[in-house]
Amino acid sequence: MCILMKKVNSMFIVDDDPITVFGIKKMLKPVCICDDIQIFENGKEAVDALKNRLENGEDIPEVIFLDINMPIMDGWDFLEELISMDIKEHITINMITSSIDPLDYQKWSEFKNRCPHGLNYKNKPIFKIEISDLESIDLAS
């Protein structure tokens, strides 16, 4: 039995809901090998960590799972910060939300147009993570 596994160097999960974080980690297991998965409860923590990594020249996460509604700094503000950062590497971002507010979807499509990284939108509940969710075509290259 040969299952195609994706090798990911570094990955961020930004979500304040421990159950969702548990779910994402569990669903990643069959499709991905990653030794560096970091969890953040809100956007601010993730931004700080990212800045740190940039400064220290550490690995920039290839994939980010991002919740929208979080305290202190929500998903949108996180994206805003991310776009303003000087990151050469291409990142695949999966926005995971239980929101069915059409405004959120609209916001996402606006961000998608100006974000240099891959930006996906996934409505909860999710049951499976595909390998395709972990990579996206780098439009810049």
Question: In the complex, which residues of this chain contact another protein (CB under 8 A)?
Answer: 17-20, 22-23, 26, 42, 44-45, 69, 71-72, 98-101, 124-127
Beta partners for residue 92, in sequence order: 63, 118
Most distant CA pair in the chain, distance? 45
Distances in whole angstroms, Cα of residue 77 to Cα of each of 2, 49, 70: 41, 15, 10
In terms of CB distance, is 127 or 137 closer to another protein?
Answer: 127
In terms of CB distance, is 127 or 140 closer to another protein?
Answer: 127
Smallest gap, in angstroms, from Cβ of residue 119 to another protein? 21
In terms of CB distance, is 2 or 103 closer to another protein?
Answer: 103
On the question of a cis peptide bond just before residue 125, with omega within 30 degrees of 0, the verdict is yes
